[in-house]
């Protein structure tokens, strides 16, 4: 997560529809925003900037990196590294959230990895203390699974989570993880496929990446229905530098 070398301007833009306190007239177009990270003008590390979708009216929101704006546009989750240097690798990072209109950031989880928003913008999936954890904006936590190096996503209705569960070897080299689902409130873990990683849940199916053993770095993209049926390949082979099914 902490890169050994940082680019001067690293843009991690996410377009979202931003809600208002009161319903907008139907004739009024919804406001969209983007967030990105830049070193320019940052007094201490990277600055998180929020702006209109066309890049205008940009202003510094806070310091940090890897921002993730909530689906309703009201919050931005991000990470800070309290003891990082430019060459830091594997240093501890902490998960925060800040209102998109500005204010004091909230520390949610120390020593975290991963930040995936729930569709209702009230919960974030993260990894902490060798576990997949759901944390609320108030800092309340619920452990969903034990393990490390998770990739996860919410179902469109926010009721279920899909994640890859490492089994053996390297997830990146294929065959090292299985794809499972679990209710967001806890419950029985359900196996979707015994070989899958980096899931992305869309309306009717879950896309995921499958490695081709024993050739580390050779990958394919597959889809599976949420009930575990309909497993099929959609991209027979990916370039070596592609590591995730989609966004």
pLDDT score recorded for residue 212: 63
pLDDT digits (tens, 9 = 90+) for 165-201: 877 654 555 557 899 999 998 888 999 998 888 999 9
Q: Are 193 and 180 in contact (CB under 8 A)?
A: no
Q: Is residue 96 part of a domain?
A: yes
- The rounded distance, in Å, linking the Cα atoms of 71 and 23 is 16
Query: Nearest 5°: phi and psi at 81?
Result: -115, 105
Whether residues 90 and 156 fall in one domain: no
Whether residues 182 and 95 fall in one domain: no
What length is written for the chain?
A: 247
Domain count across the chain: 2
Domain limits for position 18: 1-113
**Portion of the chain with pLDDT greater than 70, in percent:** 71
Whether residues 103 and 4 fall in one domain: yes
Domain end among 68, 88, 113: 113
User: Where is pLDDT greater, at 38 or 163?
Assistant: 163
Q: Is residue 7 part of a domain?
A: yes
Residue with tokens 């993730």: 68
**pLDDT of 153 higher than 90:** yes
pLDDT score recorded for residue 53: 81
Whether residues 77 and 165 fall in one domain: no
Cis peptide bond prior to 214, omega within 30° of 0: yes
Dihedral sign of CA atoms 180, 181, 182, 184 in order: positive
Whether residues 245 and 168 fall in one domain: yes
pLDDT digits (tens, 9 = 90+) for 193-219: 988 889 999 999 999 988 765 555 567
pTM, to two decimals:
0.75
Torsion of the alpha carbons at 94, 98, 103 and 109, rounded to the nearest 10: -30
Domain end among 54, 87, 113: 113
Q: Is residue 218 part of a domain?
A: yes
- The rounded distance, in Å, linking the Cα atoms of 208 and 94 is 27
Q: Is residue 102 part of a domain?
A: yes
Residues sharing a CB contact under 8 Å with residue 138, sequence separation 6 or more, in sequence order = none
Residue with tokens 């082979």: 237
Whether residues 83 and 188 fall in one domain: no
Domain end among 113, 138, 162: 113
């Amino acid at each position: 997560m902490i890169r050994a070398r940082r680019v001067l301007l690293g843009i991690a833009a996410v377009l979202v529809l931003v809600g208002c306190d009161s319903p907008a007239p139907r004739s009024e177009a919804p406001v969209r925003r983007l967030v990105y990270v830049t070193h320019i003008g940052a007094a201490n590390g990277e600055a998180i900037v929020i702006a209109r979708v066309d890049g205008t009216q940009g202003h510094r929101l806070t310091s940090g990196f890897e921002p993730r704006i909530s689906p309703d546009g009201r919050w931005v989750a991000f990470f800070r590294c309290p003891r990082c240097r430019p060459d830091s690798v594997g240093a501890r990072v902490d998960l925060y959230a800040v209102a998109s209109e500005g204010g004091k950031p909230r520390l949610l989880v120390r020593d975290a990895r991963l930040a995936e928003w729930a569709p209702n913008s009230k919960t974030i999936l993260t990894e902490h203390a060798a576990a997949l954890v759901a944390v609320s904006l108030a800092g309340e936590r619920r452990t969903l699974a034990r393990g490390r190096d998770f990739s996860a996503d919410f179902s469109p209705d926010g009721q279920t989570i899909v994640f890859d569960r490492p089994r053996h070897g390297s997830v990146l080299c294929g065959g090292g993880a299985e794809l499972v689902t679990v209710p967001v409130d806890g419950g029985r873990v359900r196996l979707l496929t015994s070989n899958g990683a980096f899931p992305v849940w869309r309306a009717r199916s879950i896309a995921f990446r499958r490695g081709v053993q024993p050739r580390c770095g050779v990958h394919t993209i597959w889809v599976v229905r949420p009930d575990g049926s309909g497993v099929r390949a959609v991209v027979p082979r990916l370039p070596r530098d592609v590591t995730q099914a989609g966004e």
